[in-house]
Structure 1
Amino acid sequence: MKSISLLALLPLVAAAPSLTVPNAAVPQKVRVVGVSLLGSGCPAGTADVQIDATKTLMEITFSEYIIQTGPGTKASEWRKNCKLTLNLQFDEGFSFSTLATDMSGFAQIPRGSRGLCTNTFDFTGIQGQSYYSLALPGPKEGPFTLKADPDVVSWSPCGGTSAIMNMNTQCNISPTRDQALIAVDRISGKITINVSLDWRKC
Structure 2
Amino acid sequence: MHLTIASVILFAQLALGAPSAAAAPRNLRVVGASVLGSGCPYGTADVKADPSNTAFDIRLSDYVVRAGPNTMAADWRKNCKLTLNLEYDEGFQFATFATDMSGYASIPSGTQGHCSNTVDFTGGSRQACYDIDLNGGGAGAFSLSAKPDVVLWSPCGGSTAILNMNTQCWISDTDKPALIAVS
TM-score range, shorter chain: 0.7 to 0.9
Contact conserved, 2:115 with 2:169, CA < 8 A, in 1? yes
> What pairs up with 1:44-55 in 2 under 5 angstroms?
44-53=42-51
Change in 2 beyond 3 A, CA 1:87/1:148: same
Unpaired segments of 5 or more residues in structure 1?
1-15, 185-190, 192-202
Determine the structure 2 residue equivalent to 1:36. 34
Greater CA drift, 75-84 or 55-64 = 55-64
- With normalisation by structure 2, the TM-score equals 0.76
Provide Cα deviations, 1:97-121, integer angstroms capped at 9, x if missing partner: 2233221112211222232111112
Aligned residues: 168
Letter in 1 for 2:138: K
Structure of higher CA gyration radius: 2
Structure 2 residue matching 1:182: 3-state secondary structure: strand
- Partner Cα separation in structure 1 for residue 159 and residue 78 of structure 2: 33
Q: Shift of residue 53 of structure 1?
A: 4.3
Distance in 2 (alpha carbons) for counterparts of 1:113 and 1:53: 43
CA distance in 1, matches of 2:133, 2:147: 13
Aligned 1:48-63 pairs, distance under 5 A: 48-53=46-51, 56-63=54-61
- Is the Cα–Cα contact under 8 Å of residues 96 and 150 in structure 2 kept in the other structure? no
- 2:74 is paired with a residue whose SS is helix
Query: Gapped runs of 5+ residues in structure 2?
Result: 10-22
Tell me whether 27-36 or 148-157 shows the greater mean CA deviation: 148-157
Residue 79 of structure 1 aligns with an amino acid whose one-letter code is: R
Give the 3 Å change call, closer, same or farther, for CA 152–128 of structure 1 in structure 2: farther
* Equivalent residue for 2:141, pick from 126, 140, 143: 143
2:71 maps to which of 73, 82, 89: 73
Provide the secondary structure at the position in 2 that maps to 1:137. coil
Which of residues 119, 122, 143 is equivalent to 1:121?
119
> How far does the alpha carbon of each residue in 1:140-178 deviate from its partner, in whole angstroms, 9 at most, with x for none?
323332324699922101222221112211100124333
Give the partner amino acid of 1:127. S
TM-score w.r.t. the length of structure 1 is: 0.70
Summarize the Cα distance change of 1:32–1:48 in structure 2 as closer, same or farther, 3 Å threshold. farther
Residues 1:150 and 1:73: Cα distance change in structure 2 (over 3 Å): farther
